[in-house]
Amino acid sequence: MSYEILGITVLWIFLYGYLIVASVDFGAGFFSYYTKRTKQNHITHNIIQRYLSPVWEVTNVFLVFFFIGIVGFFPDTAYYYGTALLIPGSVAIILLAIRGSYYAFATYGAKESPLYNFLYGATGLLIPSSLSTVLTISEGGYVVVEDGNVRLLYGELFGSLYSWGVVVLAIVSVLFISASFLTYYSSRAKDEGALKLLRKYALTWSLPAIGMGIIVFFLLGKRNPLHYQNMVDIWWVFGISFIAFIIATYLIWKRRNYGTAFILVMIQYFAAFFGYGAAHLPYLLYPYLTIYDGFTNESMALALVIAFIAGLLLLIPSLYLLMRTFLFDADYVQGKK
Amino acid sequence: MFFEYDPVIYSRILTGLTLGFHVIFATIGVGIPLMIAIAEWMGIKRNDPHYTLMARRWARGFVVTVAVGVVTGTAIGLQLSLLWPNFMQAAGHTIGLPMFMETFAFFFEAIFLGIYLYTWDRWKSKMKHFLLVIPIVIGATASAFFITSVNSFMNFPQGFTMIDGILTDVSPLAAMFNPATPTKISHVIITCYLTSAFILGAIAAYKLLKGNNHIYYKKALHLTMVSAAVFAIGTAIIGDLSGKYLHEYQPEKLAAAEWHFETESEAPLILGGILTDDNEVRYALKIPFALSILAGGTPDTIVIGLNDFPAEELPPLWIHYAFDLMVFIGMYLAFVSVLFVFMNWKKNWNAFNRPLLWSVLAGGPLAMLAIEAGWFFTEVGRQPWILNQVMTVAEGATTSQHVDIMLYVFIILYAVLGITCVRVLSRMFKNNPVERELEKRGLTHTDDRKAN
């Protein structure tokens, strides 16, 4: 495996990690707001709070890791994406800043405020929308390079069906992933009321999630035929994704094995996300930048890989400890600790 | 605004704004975990619940500031690529390693902070919970270590060769461990500790001044001032070494900080003053030989003056005031903390007298002002370079339109975050004062021995 492939794989794994943990977090924020509006919050409030409180900070780091790592492995991305994404990037920063701080203010400041809750719920849907535009832009046609200047074509971005398709896909996926996780979490907490409600949410969002996935797949065919063709060539990966989805939804429908169901949802997104990513290669930005011409020098690549492995040896046991303390400790989950 | 749109100027202002705001939270983010660890340790060692409560309360306030630190840190992380794409392209090739490792250090800290906050009463053995704070201290300090090594690299770029604008022969470790690294990192870390100790001390002093004479506050003040005295002495020693580093490797920055124009030995240290149009220093306090001693340890050290550098490569000379402010406040903090410790040690003297309490209270905000002054001094003092002698700030900046709009938006964002943060913190502690919390935990009748 070349350094280039290794580097992008490492980064993609972290982005996938962010996709899962952040989706759970974003969706939880939205459900928390929604249930408050519909006066059902007494049912779900505890479940969501007990899960979110200890892990919210960790979520953010997955994202930071990705965008710092990509500049380390592929410095040219800083030049292309950095210049083009000034406004969308800043919008994402602002949303993340509002979300992170107001979550902490509301949780530790010990005062309920409708405004905080609204901000927390709304940013949960806006952040994935704004971040998903980066993937949209990478398909090409939204960015032009003229006399050494990189420019983002806003008209093209806001006027394209594909980019809106990706936004909707991002939102429904967030809600589906989150609901299926929280279903599992409330079943562990033996909280029947919350389980019933969240299971309903999971089922509600399952069809839109898979439906949008398929729609975006075909929209991509128009947008970027080369990428589309590459995806069709590895159709079996998306087949795995689809089958995982069917079984997961079936299990939730039949009210059994919620844990397995959530793992299958993770597999569903893992397959789709890596299938999408693998087919995207070698391009980082169609048609300007590939992983080969944007790659860092060899000694930096080696240093980053060593640092990455050393870091993982430190992080995996720590993450395990975190999960054991809060996610898999039945007493904690049930609110006895 | 008042000048024509220039993405370089706006990028500089926006970066300065973000960093100036972030550094408040980053500084206490590095320093407070250590203070929490010391307090919790004292609580266990002396079996004194006051110290344990101190650690708990500090941790509770800390997590709110961490939240703002995390989001502003994310902001600067992204803004570096958005506002300085050319710089980040070069930086990715050369100094990407410590930036990458910083995220690991922070990740590590974040995980344990999550566990620490929610497990106070989970185990029988208090030691178990104390052990969780150690990775937080290590992670916080390691973050400062890695990110400051990036800043050191900007001051002394090495570990690569540049041929026709193309970077080759990169050695990530040489880039990371450059001559600026040792003094810079130790200076940043110890001043984070010092500032955090003073801010916590200022809170205790404020309560005592307001007439809350509970022993809890006296213990808090004593603990923070003893720590501050140690850190302040360390800061002074490292500050001296930083002066020697500048003399050796960035003489133009030292000369600009000191308004030192003629190359000479026995150079005086200039404090304050104003600069006339023909570069004459007026109304300044001059300490004979002091600059030569700061630069090389002896009065006969020759210090290169500003006249020997090309004028277009000099930083703006107002950094002299930032430098003086930093040094002056540093000495003030050392004086106040050492005086407190001394007076408390003298059994029949009253260290808790009002003038000294006022001085400690002033020390909190002053310490943070010194941090800001120091960072503005070092960043502006590197002008016109973003990578010293390699890339100018103008070359590193974005060419994007609309940086100005982003600047206004971020001013609003930080104002709102800052105000809410202060309000949340003050409400948090006002609604749950120490006295009530002690009562709730059944700790009202602990012995009232003198804090020592």
Are residues B32 and B86 in contact, defined by beta-carbon separation less than 8 angstroms? no
What residues 312-331 of chain B have any CB closer than 8 A to a CB of chain A?
Answer: none
Chain B residues with CB-CB distance to A296 below 8 A: 92-93, 96
What is the reported pLDDT for A112?
66
Segments of B143-190 assigned E as strands: 161-163, 166-168
Q: Write down the residue that tokens 């992933």 correspond to.
A: A177
What is the reported pLDDT for A331?
67
Q: pLDDT band at residue A60, thresholds of 50, 70 and 90?
A: confident
Element (H, E) at B391: strand B391-392
Winning range, highest mean pLDDT, from A191-195, A233-237, B123-127, B357-361:
B357-361
Task: Give the residue extent of every domain in chain B.
Answer: 7-263+304-434
d(CA B213, CA B58): 19
Among candidate residues B388, B254, B402, the one with its CA nearest the CA of residue B320? B254
What is the reported pLDDT for B149?
93
d(CA B331, CA B235): 9
Counted across chains A and B, CB pairs separated by less than 8 A come out at 217
Structure tokens at B384: 């016109």
Work out the average pLDDT over A169-187: 90
What residues 172-211 of chain B have any CB closer than 8 A to a CB of chain A?
Answer: 172-173
What is the reported pLDDT for B452?
37
What is the reported pLDDT for B219?
92
What is the reported pLDDT for B78?
86
Segments of B200-358 assigned E as strands: 269-271, 274-275, 281-282, 285-287
Are residues A22 and A59 in contact, defined by beta-carbon separation less than 8 angstroms? yes
Cα A224 to chain centroid, rounded: 22
The pairing of strands B269-271 and B285-287 is antiparallel
Q: For chain B, which ranges sit under pLDDT 50?
A: 1, 446-452
Secondary-structure breakdown of chain B: helix, strand, coil percentages, each rounded to the nearest 5: 70, 5, 25
d(CA B191, CA B367): 9
d(CA A34, CA B63): 27
> B242 CA to chain A: closest CA distance, Å?
29
Bridge partners of B270, per DSSP, are B286
Structure tokens at B67: 């939240």
What is the reported pLDDT for B450?
40
Among candidate residues A138, A73, A115, the one with its CA nearest the CA of residue A288? A138
Q: Mutation test of the interface with chain B: which of A13, A74, A79, choosing the one with the most B Cβ atoms within 10 A?
A: A79
Are residues B68 and B25 in contact, defined by beta-carbon separation less than 8 angstroms? yes
Q: Mutation test of the interface with chain A: which of B78, B106, B395, B399, choosing the one with the most A Cβ atoms within 10 A?
A: B78
- HSE-up (13 A, CA, CB side) for residue B48: 22
Q: pLDDT band at residue A111, thresholds of 50, 70 and 90?
A: low
Residue B189 DSSP code: H
What is the reported pLDDT for B428?
84
3-state secondary structure chain A: CCHHHHHHHHHHHHHHHHHHHHHHHHHHHHHHHHHHHCCCHHHHHHHHHHHHHHHHHHHHHHHHHHHHHHHHHCCHHHHHHHHHCHHHHHHHHHHHHHHHHHHHHHHHCCCCCHHHHHHHHHHHHHHHHHHHHHHHHHCCCCEEEECCEEEECHHHHHHCHHHHHHHHHHHHHHHHHHHHHHHHHHHHCCCHHHHHHHHHHHHHHHHHHHHHHHHHHHHHHHHCHHHHHHHHHCHHHHHHHHHHHHHHHHHHHCCCCHHHHHHHHHHHHHHHHHHHHHHHCCEEECCCEECCCCCCCHHHHHHHHHHHHHHHHHHHHHHHHHHHHHCCCHHHHCCCC
Task: Give the residue extent of every domain in chain A.
Answer: 3-333
Q: Is B387 helix (H, G, I), strand (E, B) or coil?
A: strand
* B167 Cβ under 8 Å from any chain A Cβ: yes
Bridge partners of B392, per DSSP, are B385
* B78 Cβ under 8 Å from any chain A Cβ: yes
What residues 211-270 of chain B have any CB closer than 8 A to a CB of chain A?
Answer: none
More confident residue, A187 or A109: A187
Residue type for position B184: K
> B424 CA to chain A: closest CA distance, Å?
5
> B44 CA to chain A: closest CA distance, Å?
22
Q: What φ, ψ does residue B390 adopt, rounded to 5°?
A: -115, -50
The pLDDT tens digits for B301-359 are 899 988 888 888 888 889 999 999 999 999 999 999 999 999 988 888 888 888 999 99
CB contact under 8 A, A68 and B100: yes
d(CA A94, CA B413): 7
pLDDT above 90 covers what percent of chain B? 41
d(CA B235, CA B254): 18
Element (H, E) at B31: helix B7-45
Q: Is the pLDDT of residue A46 over 60?
A: yes
For A57, name the nearest residue in chain B, comparing CA atoms only: B110
> B452 CA to chain A: closest CA distance, Å?
32
